A and B are shown apart, each in its own frame.
Chain A
Amino acid sequence: MRGPAQPDRGNLFYQKMNFTKYLNLYFIISALVILPGLYSLFRFGLKPAIDFTGGSIIEVRIKNNESAAEKNKEKINNFLSDIDEIELDSIQVGRENNFTLKLKPIDEAKKEEILNKLNKEYVEVEELRFETVGPVLGRELIRKTLLAVVLAAGFILAYVAYQFKDKKYGICAVLAMFHDSLVILGIFSLLGHFWGVEVDTLFVTALLTSLSFSVHDTVVVYDRIRETIKNHPKADFETVVNKALSETMSRSVNNSLTIIFMLTCLYLLGGQSIKWFVFALLIGTISGTYSSPFVATPLLVVWERIKRRKLK
C-alpha cells in the first residue's frame, strides 16, 4: 500500500547485524569480567578507606628534593616509631614529594607532634591534609549508602516498569544495573588487593552515578524496542530487538565516547585526590554502555523465550 516516495519504515531487514544470534557469547564475556572480580570480592573483599573504618590520614609535602622517595619512606617509618601511642598503618609516596601517612585515629595534638618531628628532620614540611574519622561514623555511612542504592534502584525499577507498562523492562534494566555495579566492585576489589586502592565516600558516589548512567543508556535502547514493537506489532521479538539495537548502536557509542573524553581528561589531568573516583566513573561508563545492548537486551530476549516456551 506504500508508494515509492514513502519512508522506508516498513523494511525490517534494513539491519545488518544479527545480535540475538550470539546471546551466549555476551553472557560469557560478562562472566569473564565479573567472575574474577566476584571471586576477589568474596575472597579479599574491598579495601575500605578511613571513611568507613575510622582512622587518620596525614598528607605532607616534604620540600627536600635531594633524597629519593623510597629512602624517605623508610626514614619516616623509623623515626615515627619513637612517638608513643601512634600506630602507623602505611606510608604512600605520591607525586611532588607528597607523603600520605595512614594511622589509627589520632587527635590534633598527636598530629602536631608528628609534624614537629618531621619538620625537625626535613627543615620544611607542609601539611596538606589531615583527616581523622571515628569508627562510629563509618558504620553509619555503609548503612546509609546501601539504603541509597536500594532506594535509587527501587525508584528506577518502578519508573521504568511504569513507563514501559511491563515489569520485565524494569527488572531487566535493574539487573543490568547490578551487572555494572558488580563489574565496578569486582575491579576495585582486585585493585584493592593488588595495588592497595581503597574505596571511600567518593567511590560510593561514583558507584551510584554509574548506576544511573547504566539505566540512562538502557532506557534509550528499550525505548527503541518499544517503538519498533508499536510500528511492527506482528514481528517476532528477536527481529525487533535486532532492528532496535542496530539503530541505537552508533548513538550509544558516540554518547559514551563524549563522556569517556571528559573523564579521561579528568583522570589524566585532574588532581590526585579524585583520580580513583574518576577511574570508577570511567569503568561505570564503559560497563554501562556495554550492558545496555549486551546484557539488558539479551535478558529481555531470554525472558521472552522462556515465556514463549511456557505458552507452547
Chain B
Amino acid sequence: MNKNNKRLLIILFITVLAVIIDLPKNFIFNQKISSPEINISLGNFKFKRDLKIKKGLDLQGGTHLVLQADMKDVEEKDKNDALFAVREVIAKRIDLYGVSEPVIQTSKIGDTSRIIVELPGISNVQEAIELIGKTAQLDFRELPPELDQDATDSAIPIFAFNETGLTGKDLKRATVQFSEQTGEPVVGLSFTSEGSKKFAEITERNVGKQVAIFLDGMPVTAPRVNEAITSGDAVISGQFTPKSAKNLAIQLNAGALPVPIKIVEQKNIGATLGEESVQKSLRAGLIGLSLVIIFMIAYYGKLGVLAGIALVIYGLITLAIYKLIPVTLTLPGIAGFILSIGMAVDANILIFERIKEELREGRPLKQAMELGFGRAWDSIKDANICTIITALVLLNPFNFPWLVTWGMIRGFALTLLIGVLVGLFTGIVVTRTLVRAFYKN
C-alpha cells in the first residue's frame, strides 16, 4: 500500500470515529443508535465523557451572577481564606438547592474579590439569589443539662441542641494545625477576648459532653469537650486527614470571617430564547455551509467537490472535539464556529488558486498540484498564525487577571482556535490526500 492510500485510510478512520462521537443521543434509524459514553482510567489518569454537547447559559437558560465580597472588615492576611470560605458556603447552599452542574469561580482583581456563579436551568431566581446572598451564620450549641449523654448511646437529633450565644462573631479564625504529640492534623480555633470568656463558661459546664458547631442551621461538627478551656484557644482533634481538617477549617472560617456579599451583575436567560437561538444558528450554519460548497464546486469544479468533502469532514471533526474537551457552546461560540468554516475554506482556495496559476504557466496537472500545495503553505501558515495569536489573547488560557476573562469572549475564542487548527488539518492534509487519490492517473 502506498503512502497516500495509508493516509486515506487514516482520514477515513478519523472521520468514522468523529461520526460515532457526533451521533446524537437517542438517534432513531431503524433501531436506536446513540453515541457511546467514554470511561477510561489508567492509573491516576481518568477520562470520562458522556458525549453530550454542553450548552452555555445563553443557550439553555439560567442565571449568571457576579457577587462582590465586601472585605473591608477582614484583615489582609485572612482575605484569601475568607474568599475561599465564602465560595464554599455558596457551593454548599447551591448543592442544597439542587442545581445540576453549577459553576462557581472566584476571581480577584486588584482589591476587589468576586465570585462568579452560573446556575443553569433554574426557574425561581429570586429564591436562589436570596439563598446565595445571605451572610453565613455560625454558632455553637450545647445539649440541655437534663439530657444525660452517657445514658443515650444513640445519635443525638439536631434539634436537641440549644443555642449558647457563642457565634461566629466571637471566633477569630480557624486554622489547620498538626498535633505536637501525634503529628496528626487538627483544627485550631482562636476566640476573641469576649468569645474566650463565653467559650470558657460553655466548656466548663459541658465537660465530657458534645458541643456542636452549626453553620446556617446545619451541624458541621460536634466535638466532645475534654476539659474546660479558658485560654481562648481550642483544638478539635479526631481522625482527620489533612484534607478533611482543611475542609472543616474553611467551613468554620465562613462563620469566623463573615463577608457580606452583594450582586454586582446578574443575567437571567429564559429557556425559550436559548432554544430559539440554537435552532436559528444551526439552520443558518447549514445553509451557509451548503452555499460555500456550491460556490466551491461552481468555481473550481472537481477540485471544489473534494474541498466540499474536506469541509464536511472538518465539520464532523470539530463537533467531535467540542464533545470530547468538552467545549461549553455559547451563542458567540457558534458564531466563532461558523466563521471558522469560512476561514477553513481559505486554505483550499489558496491552494487551488496556486494550482491554477501553475497550470497557466504551462506545467502538467500533476506537477502543478504538488507545486500548488507546497507554495501555498507559507501563506497559509503565516496567515493562520496571526489568527491563532488573536484567539489566544482572547482566550487567555493562563487566566491572567489583567486580561479578559469573560465567558462569552472566551467561548468565541475557543471555538475559533479549534476551528483554525482543525481547518489547517482538513485544508491541507485531507484535501491533499483526496486530490492525490482522485487524480492518480
Contact = CB atoms under 8 A, between A and B. Distances in A.
The range of chain B's interface size is: 35 or more
Given A251-B349, A251-B350, A220 B383 contact: yes
Interface string B263-293: 1111111101100110011011101110110
B162 interface: no
Interface stretch (A29-37, A64-72, A150-158, A293-301): A150-158
B389 A266 contact: no
Interface majority SS (helix, strand, loop, mixed), chain B: helix
B126 interface: yes
A216 B280 contact: no
Contact of A257 (B269, B295, B332, B335): B295
Interface majority SS (helix, strand, loop, mixed), chain A: helix
Contact of A147 (B109, B384, B403): B403
A136 B412 CA distance: 24
A279 to B, nearest CB: 11
Given A127-B270, A131-B267, A205-B408, A212 B391 contact: yes
A140 interface: yes
B66 interface: yes
A129 B270 contact: yes
Contact of B390 (A140, A208, A224, A261): A208
Interface stretch (B45-53, B82-90, B354-362): B354-362
30 contacts: A7-B358, A61-B272, A129-B269, A130-B125, A130-B268, A133-B264, A136-B68, A148-B393, A148-B404, A159-B389, A160-B386, A205-B332, A209-B339, A211-B390, A216-B386, A219-B383, A250-B353, A254-B299, A258-B292, A261-B291, A261-B292, A262-B289, A262-B291, A263-B288, A266-B288, A270-B281, A270-B284, A271-B277, A273-B58, A273-B277
Interface of A: 5, 7-9, 59, 61, 107-109, 112, 126-134, 136-137, 140-141, 144-145, 147-148, 151-152, 155-156, 159-160, 163, 201-202, 204-205, 208-209, 211-213, 215-217, 219-220, 223-224, 227, 247-248, 250-251, 254-255, 257-266, 268-271, 273-274, 277-278, 281
Interface of B: 58, 66, 68, 109, 112, 125-126, 129, 263-270, 272-273, 276-277, 280-281, 283-285, 287-289, 291-292, 295-296, 299, 331-332, 335-336, 338-339, 341-343, 345-346, 349-350, 353, 357-358, 360-363, 375, 378-379, 382-387, 389-391, 393-394, 402-404, 406, 408-409, 412-413, 416
